[in-house]
Structure 1
C-alpha cells in the first residue's frame, strides 16, 4: 500500500510569521542535485522578473468586482429574466450561483493565487488537460472581440448625451417613423388620426423614440445578417476610441487598473439607485415589477430556464473564462481569497437583481405608454437595456446630466469588464516565457488592440447587431459548462480535493471544510453534467426575436459553439503522442509538471522536497478527498 503523504505535513509548522522565516532558512536545499537544479531555475526566474502584484488588498477585490459586475449584469441579466418569465428566473440563478458558481469561482481564485500563473500555464497542474487553459483564453479573446461592439454603442450614447436635446427622447428626427411616440405624444389622438387615414387598429404598433434611436440611428440595423450594408462611420469611430481607452487604462496591467477601479466600481451603484427611484415612479411601472417580483413558479418546470440560468451565471460571475485565475495570480500568496470570492458572488447577484428592478419598471411604463403587452414589446438581446435605460434617463430631472454620468459610468464599467479577459489573453502569451516577454507587455497589448480593431470591423456594419447576437447566443453554453465540468474534475479528482485543500491551507492557514470539498467533488460535476447533457439533447437553433438566422449563419455559430471546446481533446492527443515519442510514461501526464509549485519561493522550496503520494485505489482517494482520512499507513 502506498503512503499518502502531503506537503502540508511539513509546511504546517511553518505558518506565516517569524517561525516560517526561521525554519525555511534552515532547510538543507542540497539534499539532491535534481532538486538543487530545479531550485536554481525557479529562483533565477523569480529574481530576474518578479510578477506584478496589486497595490493593495482592496484594489484586488474592487478589480474582481469590476471584472465580474459589468455590462453583462446591467443588460444581460434583465434580458435573461425577460426571456424566461421575469422573476422566476432569479430562483435557478441564485441556486446555481450558490452551489456551483460561487465554489467554482473560489477554486479558480485559489488556483491563480497559489500558483501565480495564467490560465494556460496553470494547467501544469495536469498537463494532459492543458487544452482547458486554451479554451479559457480563446473564449476570453472571442468575448473581448465581440463585446467591443457593445462598448462602442455605450460611447456613442455618451457623445449624444451632450447634444442640446437627447436624441432618444423626442420623435421628429430624420430616422423616426410615423409610428414613433415620445412623452409628449397623445397616443389616443395619434391612433385616431392613423385609423382615419385607412390603417386598421390591429396593424398599428407604436414604437418609443428610444427604440427607434437605437435601432435606426445607433445600429442602422439592416433586415438580416445577409444584408451587411456599409460600415457605419460613427460606430467604427467609437469602436476605435473604445479600444484606445482600454489600451491606455490597461497598458501597465494591474498597476494602472488598480487605481481606476476605485471610481468605476462604486459609481454605478449610485446611478442605478437614482434610476431605480425614478423608474418605480413612472406610470405603469408596477406592471413590469409584477412580472419581475412575483414569480410564476410554473415556468420552473421548463428545462430551458435552468440551462439559461447556468449560462447566465457563467456570463455574469465569470468562472471558466480564466479572468479570475489571471487576476488572482497577481495576488500576494497569503491574500484572503475566500473573503473576496464571497464578496464578488454577493455583488454579482445583487447588481443583476438591482438592475432588473430598474429595467422592468421601465418595461412596465413602456408597455402602458405604447399600448403593447409586455410579452410583445420589441425587445431583443442588448436592446432591452439600450432602450430601457435611455428611456428612464430621459424622464429624470436634468436628463442631460444624468445621461452623461450614466454612460460615462458604463464606459468605465466596460473597461472593467474587458480588463479580466484582456489580461487573460495577454498574460497567456507573456507567461509562456515571463522572464523575456514581460518587458514587452506594452507592445503585446498594442498588437492585440490592433488585431481586435481590424477583426471587429464587421461588427460596425448594418448587420453588426445580428453578428453580435449570433456569437453571444452560440459561444457560451457548451464551452463554458463543458470547460467548468472538466476543470472541477481535474482539480477535485485527478489532482485531488484533499491535496488542493492542503495547498489552500499553506496560503490561508485554514483548510476548506468538508461541505466545500463535497461540492467540488460531487455537487458541481453532477450539476454541470445535469446541465450539459440536456443542453445537447434539447439543443435548438437560437433566434433573435422573430428573426431566424439562415443556415450558413447557423453553421458559423456552431463553429463558435464547438471549436473552442474541441481544443481539449486535440491538445490531449498531442500531449499523449509527444509523451510516447519521448519514451515517458503516459500516466505522468495526469501528475503535476515539475514547474507546478506555489509562487512563494520559500514555501516552494518546502513543497518540492515533500512529494505527494496518492492512495492506491478509489476508496482511499474518496476518503482522502472528502474527509482527509489517510487509510494508507
Structure 2
C-alpha cells in the first residue's frame, strides 16, 4: 500500500491544482446556460438564491469531495470503498456518468471547432438555424434512426479526442496541469476581449438591463430557487467524481477549504463575466431587429450555434468576434472534458494497476470510439440532447444525493472529514458545514429531483416519442447506476484499501512518478 501511495502522481503546485479545478468548473454551461437561467429567473434578483446555493450547497460539496479525495488518495471507486466497501458502487456510478458525459461533450467541442472556421467566411449565410441542423449536422426528422454518417462532424471530433488523450497520457503534472496553466489564462484574456467588444456595441446597455434588472417578486417562486441550486450544482463539477479525483493528487498538507473558496468564487466570477458578454451582444441583436431582449434570448445549442452566428453576420468585425467566441468555447469545454475523462482513466488505473499510457489509450480510447460512432451521424443531435438531459437530471443529481446521504447519514463520517480538512486549512469549517451537508443539501437535491420528475411525467421531454425517451434517455440514466453496481462487484487485481481507513501517509507527498 505504501508503494502505491509513493508512486501516486502529484500536482506540481497549489496554483496548478487550482487552475485545473477552475478549468474543470468553467465549461460550456458557464457561457451558454448561466446567462439564460439568470434572465429567466428574476434577473439581478437571481443573485440572491444563487449566492445562497453557492454557500449552502456548492462550496460544502466541493470541500467534501476535496477532503474525501485527499484523505483516501484514490479515484471515486477506491476513495469511497475506503469509507465503506458498499459505497464503492457510488464511485463506479460516477465513473459511468462521466463516460456518458464525455462521449457527447466532445461532440459539442467538435462543433465549436468547425464554427471557428465558419466564422471567418460566415458560412451559415442568411439562415444560421437551417445551416446548423441541415447542411452541417444533417439532422434527421426521425430521432434514433441512423441513415447517414456525417464526416464534417467526425473529423473535428477525432481531432478533439486526439488532443485530450495526448494531454492525459502525459500525466497529471506534465499533461493536465501544464495544459490548464496555459488554457485558463488564455480563456480569461479572450473573454475579456469579448466583453470589451460587446460593451461597445449599440444596444449593449439594453441587453445588460435585461439581464441585471431585478424582479424581486421572483424570489417567492420556488422554481427560481431550484434553478439556482441546479446551476451551482452543475457549474462546480460536483456530484460525479471529478473533484474527488483531482484532490487525490494533492499533498497531505494542502489547504482544502481555501482552495475550494478560490475555485468556487473564480467559477462564479467567470459566469458573471460570461453573462455580461452574452447579454451585451444579445442587446445588440435586439436593437438591430427592433424587438425585446427576451425575444432573442436563448440558451445551449440555440445560443451558441444559431443566435451568435446571426449576430456575427450583422456586427462590425463579426468574423474576429466569432473566432474569439468559438475558440473560447473550445478552450472552456476542453478543460472540462479533460477532467471528466481523467475520472474514468484514474478509476481503472487505481483498480487494475494499469500504467498511465495503456490506461489512457484503452479506457479513454473506448470513450472516444463510442463518441465518434454515436454523434457523427444524422441522429447525433437527438442522442446528444436526450443523453445530456437525462444524465444531468437523473444521473448527476441522484448520484450527488446518494453520496451526501451515504457520507452524512449512513456512515456519519462528516465529523472525521471535517477534522481532516480543518487540520490543514486556514479557514475552519464549523458546524455550518455539517448542517449544510446533513440537512440543506439533501433536502434541496431531493426537491430538485421531485420538481424535475413532476415536469417529466406531465409532458415528454423535447416532444420526443415515449419509446425513444425510454431506450435512449431513461436507459442511459438507469444504465449508469446499473453499471456502477456491477463494477463494484468485480474482484479487481489491485485492492483499493481497507474499509473506513485512509491510506497511511508515507512522507512521499512531494514525489511524483508519472506512471507509463
* TM-score for both structures, normalised by structure 1: 0.72
Please list the CA deviations of residues 149-180 of structure 1 after superposition, one character each: whole Å capped at 9, or x if unmatched: 1010111122334x5x3334xx3xxxxxxxx3
Query: Of Structure 1 and Structure 2, which has the larger fraction of its residues in helix?
Result: 2
Please list the CA deviations of residues 465-520 of structure 1 after superposition, one character each: whole Å capped at 9, or x if unmatched: 22212111221123222222232233234243222223224444875322223223
- Cα distance, 1:540 vs structure 2: 4.1
Which residue does the alignment assign to 1:138?
A: 96
Please list the CA deviations of residues 512-557 of structure 1 after superposition, one character each: whole Å capped at 9, or x if unmatched: 322223223322223333333443445446777xx51112222121
1:110 to 40, 54, 67: 67
* Residue correspondence of structure 1 range 608-619 to structure 2 within 5 A: none
C-alpha distance in 2 between matches for 1:543 and 1:283: 40
Which residue does the alignment assign to 1:38?
A: none
Which residue does the alignment assign to 1:276?
A: 195
1:466 to 353, 363, 382: 382
Which residue does the alignment assign to 1:156?
A: 114
Which residue does the alignment assign to 2:346?
A: 427
Which residue does the alignment assign to 2:469?
A: 554
1:516 equivalent in alignment to 2:428:
no
- Cα distance, 1:358 vs structure 2: 1.6
- Cα distance, 1:258 vs structure 2: 1.1
- Cα distance, 1:211 vs structure 2: 4.2
Which residue does the alignment assign to 1:503?
A: 420
In structure 2, list runs of 5 or more residues that go unmatched. 492-496, 510-516
Which residue does the alignment assign to 1:531?
A: 448
1:310 equivalent in alignment to 2:206:
no
C-alpha distance in 2 between matches for 1:411 and 1:567: 30
**For the Cα contact (< 8 Å) 1:491–1:500, is it kept in 2?**
no
1:71 to 7, 24, 28: 28
- Cα distance, 1:296 vs structure 2: 2.7
Decide whether aligned partners of structure 1 residues 431 and 597 sit closer, same or farther in structure 2, where only a CA change above 3 A counts. Answer: same
- Cα distance, 1:106 vs structure 2: 0.9
2:480 to 555, 564, 585: 564
- Cα distance, 1:412 vs structure 2: 2.9
Over the aligned positions, Cα root-mean-square deviation in angstroms equals 3.1
* Residue correspondence of structure 1 range 173-252 to structure 2 within 5 A: 180=126, 209-223=127-141, 225-226=143-144, 228-252=146-170
* Residue correspondence of structure 1 range 355-504 to structure 2 within 5 A: 355-377=274-296, 379=298, 381-391=300-310, 399-434=318-353, 437=354, 439=355, 441-456=356-371, 457-493=373-409, 494-504=411-421
Decide whether aligned partners of structure 1 residues 82 and 459 sit closer, same or farther in structure 2, where only a CA change above 3 A counts. Answer: farther
- Cα distance, 1:142 vs structure 2: 0.8
Which residue does the alignment assign to 2:512?
A: none
C-alpha distance in 2 between matches for 1:314 and 1:542: 24
Aligned length: 499
SS at match of 1:362: helix
Worse-superposed segment, 265-274 or 592-601: 592-601
Decide whether aligned partners of structure 1 residues 312 and 295 sit closer, same or farther in structure 2, where only a CA change above 3 A counts. Answer: same
**For the Cα contact (< 8 Å) 2:149–2:378, is it kept in 1?**
yes
Decide whether aligned partners of structure 1 residues 373 and 213 sit closer, same or farther in structure 2, where only a CA change above 3 A counts. Answer: farther
Please list the CA deviations of residues 92-144 of structure 1 after superposition, one character each: whole Å capped at 9, or x if unmatched: 33321221011111110111112111000011202222221112111111110
C-alpha distance in 2 between matches for 1:502 and 1:395: 57
Which residue does the alignment assign to 2:14?
A: 57
* Residue correspondence of structure 1 range 600-615 to structure 2 within 5 A: 600-601=505-506
Decide whether aligned partners of structure 1 residues 210 and 82 sit closer, same or farther in structure 2, where only a CA change above 3 A counts. Answer: farther
- Cα distance, 1:379 vs structure 2: 4.1
* Residue correspondence of structure 1 range 1-40 to structure 2 within 5 A: none
**For the Cα contact (< 8 Å) 2:218–2:224, is it kept in 1?**
yes
In structure 1, list runs of 5 or more residues that go unmatched. 1-41, 172-179, 181-208, 579-591, 605-633
Please list the CA deviations of residues 418-471 of structure 1 after superposition, one character each: whole Å capped at 9, or x if unmatched: 11111100111111143xx2x2x2122122343233322231223322221211
1:290 equivalent in alignment to 2:209:
yes
C-alpha distance in 2 between matches for 1:353 and 1:217: 34
C-alpha distance in 1 between matches for 2:159 and 2:309: 21
Decide whether aligned partners of structure 1 residues 599 and 367 sit closer, same or farther in structure 2, where only a CA change above 3 A counts. Answer: farther
C-alpha distance in 2 between matches for 1:226 and 1:415: 27
SS at match of 2:170: coil
C-alpha distance in 2 between matches for 1:336 and 1:322: 19
Worse-superposed segment, 260-269 or 88-97: 88-97
Please list the CA deviations of residues 8-57 of structure 1 after superposition, one character each: whole Å capped at 9, or x if unmatched: xxxxxxxxxxxxxxxxxxxxxxxxxxxxxxxxxx234445xx10101111
**For the Cα contact (< 8 Å) 1:381–1:469, is it kept in 2?**
no
1:167 equivalent in alignment to 2:123:
yes
Which residue does the alignment assign to 1:265?
A: 184
**For the Cα contact (< 8 Å) 2:390–2:476, is it kept in 1?**
yes
SS at match of 1:475: helix
Decide whether aligned partners of structure 1 residues 517 and 335 sit closer, same or farther in structure 2, where only a CA change above 3 A counts. Answer: same
**For the Cα contact (< 8 Å) 2:31–2:271, is it kept in 1?**
yes
C-alpha distance in 2 between matches for 1:139 and 1:263: 28
- Cα distance, 1:380 vs structure 2: 5.5
